[in-house]
């Protein structure tokens, strides 16, 4: 199974020991004006990916640790730059 995780960024996922066994099969950064590195800025995606992908028995096992992952940065904007929440689903 391959899971795409779309979030603001995945800061330091490529450096943190907790993610060493996570099977990341691809990355892409859709943020205009940024390079392709999804691991440089914003850590919300790091937290999101951890609850899905991390597999550290006796410490923490995510909900799909055996899956493959595509990590996609699409954010990096502040709340105000993102429209002050107008673009977000009001149920969130």
The mean per-residue pLDDT over the stretch 19-25 comes to 97
Residue 53: partners with Cβ closer than 8 Å, 6 or more residues away: 3, 19, 22, 62, 64, 65, 67, 69
Give me the pLDDT at residue 34, please: 73
Q: pLDDT band at 87, cuts 50/70/90?
A: very low
Q: pLDDT band at 23, cuts 50/70/90?
A: very high
- This prediction's pTM: 0.78
Res 9 pLDDT > 70: yes
């Amino acid at each position: 199974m391959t899971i795409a995780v779309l979030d603001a960024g995945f800061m330091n996922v490529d450096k943190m020991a907790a993610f060493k066994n996570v099977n990341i099969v691809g990355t892409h950064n859709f943020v205009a004006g940024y390079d392709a590195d999804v691991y440089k800025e914003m850590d919300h995606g790091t937290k999101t990916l951890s609850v899905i992908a991390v597999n550290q028995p006796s410490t923490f096992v995510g909900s799909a640790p055996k899956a493959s992952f595509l990590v996609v940065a699409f954010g990096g904007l502040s709340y105000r730059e993102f429209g002050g929440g107008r673009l977000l689903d009001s149920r969130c």
